[in-house]
Amino acid sequence: MRNYRVIVGSKDRYNVGAEYVQCKVSKEFLEYWKDKPNSELSTHVFNMGNGEGDPDSPLISPDSEVDGHWWDTDDLEHCWGPFYDNVAFVCELDDEGNEIEDSEIQAVPYILYKRNAIFEIVGPNVELEYWVEDKIDKFIPTMAVWQVEKGGFPYYDVETDNGGFNPYKLAVSVLDTYHGSFVLDCYYNGDRLDYDGDGGTTGKYTDVEIGWTWYNFYKRRDEYSEESQQLIRQDWKLLERQVGEHQENDLIPVFIDGESDAEELIRKMNTYYTDLSN
C-alpha cells in the first residue's frame, strides 16, 4: 500500500477560504435592516451573541427568545474550507507520515457535484411584498455571514494500492455562494475523505448580507445529506463515464511544469466538462 496527502483549494498551499453560515430570517428582520448601512448590520450580527447588538432589532427567528452567536445561525448552510480554484497538491508520504521530497504533483480535481447558495440581496428601495406575494412556498428570507480566512486548511490523507495515486479518481463537491465557491468535500475512488490535521488560519475580513433565496436549493442540499447517498453514487457513475472519455482523448488531469500548463489543461478540461449539477 502507498499513502498520499491531498491539499485542495487555491493555486498555493497557503490557501484562502472562509467560514460561511446561512440561515432563515423573519420578514420583520429583513424589513428592519434592508434600509440601514451594511456596516450597522454587520456590527449587530457579530455582537448579538454577547447581548451587545442593536436592542431594537427584531429577532432573526420569531421562534427564538434571543439571538445567539453568528456561527450558530446555520439552519440552511454551515461550511468551513478553502475556496475552489481548480487545483489540488498531492504528495506521497513515507512510513512515518512525512511528505517525500520532490514527490509533489498538482492535479485538477473533477467536480462530482455542485450546490448553489447564491441569493437575491435586498437593500434600500426594495419592496419585500414583491417577493412574498404568491411565492411563499418558493422563496426563503435569508441572511448569510462570511468570515474570510487565510492559512493552512486541513488536508486529506489517501491510501492507495501499490500502483500509486490515480488523479482520474480525485473529485470534489463545491458550494457556490455570493462571495465565491467553497470546497465542500473531497472524494477518491468514490469514497468521501475525512479532514486530517488541525489547520491554522487567520481571519481577514467579514461580511453579512440579507435577501431572498430559493427553496429548491435547500431541497437539493437535503438530497445530498449524509443520510442519503444515492445521488452521490449516481453522480460518481456519471463521472466515471466522463473520465473514460478524457482518458480516450488523452486529457490527463495532472500538471507539473508551471501555471501556464495548468491554465491550458483547465481550458481543455472545461471544453469536455459536462456540469453534473444540472
Task: Tell me how far apart the alpha carbons of residues 166 and 188 are, in angstroms, rounded to a whole number.
Answer: 9
Q: Which of helix, strand or coil describes residue 270?
A: helix
Q: Which residues pair with 105 in a beta bridge?
A: 90
Measure Cα distances from 223 to 110, 192, 265 in Å. Answer: 20, 16, 32
All three cell numbers of 239, joined, read: 463521472
Task: Tell me how far apart the alpha carbons of residues 170 and 89 are, in angstroms, rounded to a whole number.
Answer: 11
Judging by DSSP bridges, how do beta strands 139-152 and 15-24 pair with one another? Answer: antiparallel
Task: Tell me how far apart the alpha carbons of residues 126 and 35 are, in angstroms, rounded to a whole number.
Answer: 9
Q: Say what angle helices 230-248 and 259-272 make with each other, to 10 degrees.
A: 110
Q: Which residues pair with 170 in a beta bridge?
A: 188
Q: Which of helix, strand or coil describes residue 219?
A: helix
Task: Tell me how far apart the alpha carbons of residues 122 and 30 are, in angstroms, rounded to a whole number.
Answer: 8
- Count of CB atoms within 10 A of residue 228's CB? 10
Task: Tell me how far apart the alpha carbons of residues 147 and 18 are, in angstroms, rounded to a whole number.
Answer: 5
- pLDDT digits (tens), the chain, 278 positions: 899 989 887 655 557 778 899 998 988 898 899 889 889 999 999 998 888 889 999 988 767 666 788 888 888 888 888 888 778 888 899 989 888 988 888 888 888 888 888 888 887 766 666 555 555 556 788 899 988 877 777 788 999 888 888 888 888 888 888 878 888 888 988 888 888 766 666 667 788 999 888 777 776 667 666 656 777 777 878 777 777 776 666 555 544 333 434 444 444 444 433 333 33
Q: Which residue has the cell 427567528?
A: 61
Starting at the earlier edge strand, list the strands of the sheet with 77-82. Answer: 77-82, 15-24, 139-152, 200-214, 120-121
Task: Tell me how far apart the alpha carbons of residues 129 and 113 are, in angstroms, rounded to a whole number.
Answer: 34
pLDDT of residue 117: 85
DSSP state of 98: P
All three cell numbers of 65, joined, read: 427568545
Residues 20-43 as b/e (b if ≥16 CB within 10 A, e otherwise) read: bbbbbbbeebbebbbeeeeeebbe
Give the pTM: 0.77
pLDDT of residue 254: 47
Task: Tell me how far apart the alpha carbons of residues 155 and 139 are, in angstroms, rounded to a whole number.
Answer: 36
pLDDT of residue 265: 44
pLDDT of residue 182: 86
